[in-house]
Structure 1
Amino acid sequence: MILEGLVTTLSPEGELNIAPMGPKIPADLSLGTFVLRPYRSSTTYRNLKAGGSGVFHITDDVLLLARTAIGAALDPPPATTPARAVLGRVLADACRYYEFRPIVVDDIDERTTVLVETLAEGRIRDFLGFNRAKHAVVEAAILATRTAFLPLSEILEEFQKFSVIVDKTGGPAEREALDLLLDHVRRSSRPPLESKAPSS
């Protein structure tokens, strides 16, 4: 099964990257080993390929998930603490986390397959859970990353459904997250301004 969460990695220079990612995990929910599928163009892939390690987080913070999905500025950045078993950072407000290192990197295809093993794990707080609004934001975040190959009308139609759900069952964080994602979709769909040829 696929479990949505957030992955933190560090660049060789020590720069923190936070990315939403849904690793494939065993059916019994054990996370001794699991599979990440980052694209070769992603920062997560580059950091892991460079010999790095990472931390997978289970979280109910859909606003942070939405921001990282579209590359929005994280100001202020989320609080982190040093990982115990790997060179990495743990999100201080996550529910659970799994510190890992890659053991197999298959990057023949654009969508890579990275088998990782867990070296340490921890629990920070209870998982509040996902109500319908949180689920809607997760789906909206995934959809917002597909503006390059899905029709705008189709995306906006889905966002209208998400909006109804968030208005009925969400709180301020879920509403802010959906507004952020919708603004991203609208900006991404605008054609670039054509440069005018200089007049002779």
Structure 2
Amino acid sequence: MIFETLVTTVGADARVHCAPMGARYAAGEVILMPFKPSATLDNILATGVAVMNLTTDVRVFAGCVTGRRDWPTVPAERIAGRRLVGTLAHVELQLEACDDDAQRPVLHFSRVCERTHAPFPGFNRAQAAVIEGAVLVSRLRMLSAEKIDSEMAYLQIAIDKTAGPAEREAWQWLTEAVAAHRATLDQGRAAA
């Protein structure tokens, strides 16, 4: 089972990088599989640590895949990292092993510190739709236009029926990203 989280890492230049990432829990460890190349992977390999942030603020998921990566952070408690402000919970991770792969290395982490900051009320359908939309936007170059259109149309139903202001804002960012991607493709075809 994969859980959608937000992973914060810190680069050699002390800049915080935030990225949505699926996490797996297995035999007491956390497994992350960032794509190559990525700032997340580079930062983890350089520092050996990361923070997994758990939140229902889906604007952060949508923001990260649409170029809005500057979210407020505070220092982690037991590692040299930073966690997002306003998360429901966070888990501080220490890299234990890396199984290299040409596309997606498998990173094995121990849990150094786990904190709950607020109760989890559950996701509404719009929040789940935004997370799915963010996954689609992160794969615009890999998926067909037809697949993107059909998936986004289906997810729009949940947005229309259950979204609050934060989910509507996040959804707008995602639809703008899809439109911008299409415009870039159209310009490339026109120039060819």
- How far apart are residue 78 of structure 1 and its match? 2.5
- How far apart are residue 20 of structure 1 and its match? 0.4
Structure 2 residue 48 is matched with structure 1 residue 52: yes
- Further displaced range: 81-90 or 101-110: 101-110
SS at match of 2:61: helix
Q: In the alignment, residue 68 of structure 2 is paired with which amino acid?
A: A
Matches within 5 A, 1:76-155: 77-155=70-148
SS at match of 1:189: helix
Structure 2 residue 190 is matched with structure 1 residue 183: no
Gap runs ≥5 in structure 1: none
Deviations, residues 140-179 of structure 1 (Å, cap 9, x unaligned): 1111111112111221121111112111111011111111
For 1:2 and 1:166, the matched residues in 2 are separated by: 23
SS at match of 2:23: coil
Q: In the alignment, residue 20 of structure 2 is paired with which amino acid?
A: P
Matches within 5 A, 1:37-76: 37-70=33-66, 72-74=67-69
> Is the 1:10–1:52 Cα contact (8 Å) retained in structure 2?
no
- How far apart are residue 33 of structure 1 and its match? 1.4
- Count of residues in Structure 1 that have an aligned counterpart in Structure 2: 189
For 1:8 and 1:149, the matched residues in 2 are separated by: 25
- How far apart are residue 79 of structure 1 and its match? 2.2
- How far apart are residue 195 of structure 1 and its match? 9.7
> Is the 1:25–1:34 Cα contact (8 Å) retained in structure 2?
yes
Gap runs ≥5 in structure 2: none
For 2:71 and 2:139, the matched residues in 1 are separated by: 25
SS at match of 1:147: coil
> Is the 1:58–1:94 Cα contact (8 Å) retained in structure 2?
yes
Partner of 1:17: 17
Task: Return the structure number with greater strand share.
Answer: 2
Identical counterparts, % of pairs: 33
For 2:103 and 2:4, the matched residues in 1 are separated by: 20
Deviations, residues 44-64 of structure 1 (Å, cap 9, x unaligned): 100011133110011111011
> C-alpha root-mean-square deviation of aligned residues, in Å?
1.8
TM-score, length of structure 1 as denominator length: 0.88
Deviations, residues 11-55 of structure 1 (Å, cap 9, x unaligned): 0111100000111113xxx8x411000012111100011133110
> Is the 1:95–1:123 Cα contact (8 Å) retained in structure 2?
yes
Q: Aligned pair in 2 of structure 1 residues 123, 150: CA closer, same or farther (>3 Å)?
A: same
TM-score, length of structure 2 as denominator length: 0.91
Q: In the alignment, residue 115 of structure 1 is paired with which amino acid?
A: H
Q: Which has the larger radius of gyration?
A: 1
